[in-house]
């Protein structure tokens, strides 16, 4: 099956700094990737849709200037959490689906645990 990787798997940063998380599709090209956030004991909440070569589409309530998304190639999307605060501490997960097959199941990355101190 298709593989999606994320890097780093976990990161600790100080309040006010920025953190970049990478999402890669390893064996397929993805024009669209999705970024989710999951707080402890809660479900995944879609943050934004990352579109290769164009601007990301953000869900209501998600600050686009705080969560910068760049989808510069067909296999890589990055999420940068700018000026991170403790309330941004969460589990960030990306997903993608191989193109050209209609509606597909999503392949999720292993997630990135962000802790802001």
Partner 1 sequence: SQKIEQNSEALNIQEGKTATLTCNYTNYSPAYLQWYRQDPGRGPVFLLLIRENEKEKRKERLKVTFDTTLKQSLFHITASQPADSATYLCALDEAAGNKLTFGGGTRVLVKP
Query: Is 108 near partner 1 (CB under 8 A)?
Result: yes
Q: Is 28 or 91 the residue whose CB approaches partner 1 more closely?
A: 91
The residues that bridge with 47 in the sheet, in sequence order, are none
Contact with partner 1 (CB under 8 A) among 7, 13, 22, 32? 32
Using alpha carbons, select from 92, 97, 84, 104 the residue that is nearest to residue 22: 92
Distance CA 80, CA 19 (A): 5
Distance CA 13, CA 88 (A): 11
Q: Tell me the site size for partner 1, rule CB under 8 A.
A: 25
Footprint of partner 1 on this chain (CB under 8 A)? 4, 6, 32, 34, 42-46, 49, 91, 93, 95, 97, 102-111, 113
């Amino acid at each position: 099956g298709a593989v999606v990787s994320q890097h780093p798997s976990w990161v600790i940063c100080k309040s006010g700094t920025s953190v970049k998380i990478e999402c890669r599709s390893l064996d397929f090209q993805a024009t669209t990737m999705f970024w989710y956030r999951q707080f402890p004991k809660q479900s995944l909440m879609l943050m934004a849709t990352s579109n290769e070569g164009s601007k990301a589409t953000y869900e209501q309530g998600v600050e686009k200037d705080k969560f910068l998304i760049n989808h510069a190639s067909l296999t890589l999307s990055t999420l940068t959490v700018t000026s991170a605060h403790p309330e941004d501490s969460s589990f960030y997960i990306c997903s993608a689906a191989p193109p050209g097959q209609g509606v597909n199941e999503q392949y999720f990355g292993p997630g990135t645990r962000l802790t802001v101190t």
